[in-house]
Amino acid sequence: MTQAKMKIRKGDQVIVLTGKDKGAKGEVLKAIPSESRVVVQGVNVVTRHKKPTQFSAGGIEKIEKAIHVSNVALVDPKEATATRVGYKILKDGKKARVAKKSGETIG
């Protein structure tokens, strides 16, 4: 099966569309294209109990787990709402990502 192209990258501002964190906004910390998943700051936070080791003290720590890319949408830079991503060829010949709602170029 061929892998679909992910239009969301590390550093993008996204909003969660479904699940327990619906409506939460955050920055993409890590993109995992092979699994079509992203790790979003402050979203899908789970608690892990770590044993002490020679290098760390251990204890309870909260970490963000990956969520499927279909459950997030890019935040429109102009309107601060969810938008889809399109592509546009600029005058200098470079390809740029564009927000479908407002037409704004995405960083």
Read out DSSP for the chain?
-PPPPP---TT-EEEE-SSTTTT-EEEEEEEETTTTEEEETTSSEEEEEE---SS---EEEEEEPPEEGGGEEEEPTTT-SEE-EEEEE-TTS-EEEEETTT-PBP-
For the cut 70, the answer to whether the pLDDT of residue 1 exceeds it is: no
What tens digit of pLDDT does each residue of 69-99 get?
A: 999 999 998 988 999 999 999 999 999 999 9
Domains of the chain: 13-99 (2.30.30.30)
Q: What is the pTM of this model?
A: 0.85
What tens digit of pLDDT does each residue of 2-48 get?
A: 677 899 999 999 999 999 999 999 999 999 999 999 999 999 999 99
